Structure 1
C-alpha cells in the first residue's frame, strides 16, 4: 500500500497509481480535517489529482521532487 496512515495525517509513498485514488478518497472522507504528507511522492496518476482537487485537503508537506511539487502547488492553490 502506498500510504501510511497516522492519526490525522496520511503519508503518501513514492508512486500513486490509479488504484490508489479510491483509498485516498476513502481516507479523506473519513478524515475531513486530515492532512496529506506528499514528501516522498514523485509521481501520481491523474485520478489522484482529481481526488485532491475535489477534496482540497490540507497539505502537510509538499513533494521533495521539485517539478511535481511546483505542478501540484499550482494546481491546488
Structure 2
C-alpha cells in the first residue's frame, strides 16, 4: 500500500498514484496538525503534490536525496494555495 495512515502521520511509500489524492486530501483535512513521512516516497502523481501544497503540510521525514525535493519544500513554505481564492 503506497500510503499507510496512522493517527498523526501518513507514510508515503514508493509510487503514489492519482487515485490516492482524494483520500489523502480528506485525511489531512480532518486534522491540520497531521504530518507526512516521505522517507520512502520515490514518485507521486502531481495531484498528490497539489494536496501537499494545498494543506501546507508538515513533513516528519524527507527522502534522503534532499536536492530532488527542494522544489516541494519551497512550494509548501510559500503557501501558494489560498483558501479565499481556491475554496
TM interval, shorter chain, is 0.7 to 0.9
| 1:30-57 deviation line (CA, Å, top 9, x unaligned) | 2221011000001011101111111111
Measure the CA separation in 1 of the matches of 2:17 and 2:32.
Answer: 22
Gaps in structure 1 of 5+ consecutive residues: none
Higher relative contact order (CA 8 A, sep 6+): 1
Partner of 1:15: 15
Structure number with bigger Rg? 2
TM norm structure 1: 0.85
> Any residues of structure 2 matched to 1:23-62 within 5 Å, and which?
23-62=23-62
1:35–1:60: 8 Å Cα contact kept in structure 2? Answer: yes
TM norm structure 2: 0.76
Measure the CA separation in 2 of the matches of 1:41 and 1:67.
Answer: 14
Runs of 4+ in 1 over 3 A off after TM superposition: 65-68
Gaps in structure 2 of 5+ consecutive residues: 78-87
Q: Alpha carbon RMSD of aligned pairs, Å?
A: 1.5
Partner of 1:6: 6
1:41–1:64: 8 Å Cα contact kept in structure 2? Answer: no
